């Protein structure tokens, strides 16, 4: 199982690749559009990053004529979530719910009219 996730961790370790994923989070993009977002890198450099993301399964690419359309594949990220985070999800949901209930009770107590002392 650990080895299955290694390409994903490698891909996510680089800030440029994470920025590419951020671009794709908003929707599919042509390779040229992605390259334009990284003027400090050559087209070849961006393509190498896309290759790493494809090998990790984080990006899917399809051809439409001469255009290559890249899209985000969230399934590998979901695998990481399920392995490393999901077991804490119920704990934090319950904790946040208790904080909300406590805050609402405090607010109700502050709004309640106080009895005057005789």
pLDDT in tens, 19-73: 999 999 999 999 999 999 999 999 999 999 999 999 999 999 999 999 999 999 9
Signed CA dihedral, 52, 15, 9, 63: sign only? negative
Q: How many other CB atoms are found less than 10 A from the CB of residue 37?
A: 14
Sheet containing 67-72: order of strands? 29-30, 67-72, 59-64
Q: How confident is the model at residue 110 (pLDDT cuts 50, 70, 90)?
A: confident
In the chain, what are the domain boundaries? Answer: 2-73, 84-111
Indicate the fold that domain 2-73 takes in CATH.
Arc Repressor Mutant, subunit A (1.10.10)
Whether 1 has a pLDDT exceeding 60, the answer reads no
Check residue 26 and give its pLDDT: 94
E-strand ranges in the chain read: 29-30, 59-64, 67-72
pLDDT at position 15: 96
């Amino acid at each position: 199982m650990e080895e299955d996730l290694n390409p994903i961790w490698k891909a996510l370790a680089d800030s440029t690749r994470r920025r590419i994923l951020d671009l794709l989070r908003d929707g599919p993009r042509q390779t040229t559009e992605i390259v334009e977002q990284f003027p400090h890198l050559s087209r070849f450099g961006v393509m190498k990053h896309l290759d790493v993301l494809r090998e990790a399964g984080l990006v899917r690419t399809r051809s439409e004529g001469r255009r290559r359309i890249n899209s985000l594949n969230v399934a590998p990220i979901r695998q990481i979530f399920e392995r490393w985070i999901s077991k804490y999800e119920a704990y934090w949901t319950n904790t946040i719910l208790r904080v909300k209930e406590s805050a609402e009770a405090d607010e109700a107590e502050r709004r309640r009219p106080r009895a005057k002392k005789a």
